[in-house]
Structure 1
């Protein structure tokens, strides 16, 4: 499964002072996320899922956040949104499900092979209907945040 993370939405779901250092908060989340690449975890529905790859979308001040050192860029990617993060997520999901060159020439896959983490209802409405979606609570629990 490919995990696509709305970093701003997940970071903003916890009142831990993230607003004082958005890039730092994003980097801390990215560091925790990186340890889950290749692991099998309980998905939001309770079924086991293997996280084959993570695409973390950052926007605004958080675009200064760096990917953790030593991660495989083919399995952990930080996407810096040109404008808003929602549009970048929708574009990436469409690219992933169409086998676009943006996804390193990956073969076309079903939206069911993706799991987008966001609580943003507007974003959820823009995603293809077969894409799985989980709220940040699931990811926060997984990360122990």
Structure 2
């Protein structure tokens, strides 16, 4: 008998980083590393309505494409657009409980059409985000 896989949380890193005007545009790579570090506890805690443990994958693109993973947050470099890579991941994991964290309306529609749940960046509470 196989053990069921934990819920998958896919974070649209560029969108989440860009949702807070804190000067991220001066250092996209550094801002994405800070997001990764703030997501570390998410694997254990989960999201509201999705208790941990969960698997956390952060899709990175552009100048942040080379952000390294942490022990509890995987990074998935997007060879082209981050949105397309997120849609590919949702397609690859069909049938598994998954939630995409993004505020991008078109991406929300695309992944919802494939069966993923979607929440905005505000679902990552500040207390969990370390800010």
TM-score normalised over the length of structure 1: 0.77
1:6 maps onto 2:12 in alignment = yes
Q: Residue 65 of structure 1: SS of its match in structure 2?
A: coil
RMSD in angstroms over aligned alpha carbons?
1.7
TM-score (norm 2): 0.84
Structure 1 residue 140: Cα displacement: 4.6
Give 5+ residue unaligned stretches, structure 2.
1-6
**Aligned partners of 2:46 and 2:60: how far apart in 1?**
24
Q: Does 1:50 align with 2:52?
A: yes
Which residues of 2 match residues 1-145 of structure 1 at below 5 A? 1-41=7-47, 43=48, 47-68=49-70, 71=71, 76-97=73-94, 109-110=95-96, 113-129=97-113, 130-141=115-126, 142-145=128-131
Residue 49 of structure 1, CA deviation: 2.1
Whole-angstrom CA distance in 1 between matches of 2:53 and 2:129: 13
Q: Following TM superposition, where does structure 1 have runs of at least 4 consecutive aligned residues deviating by more than 4 angstroms? A: none
Gaps of 5+ in 1: 98-108
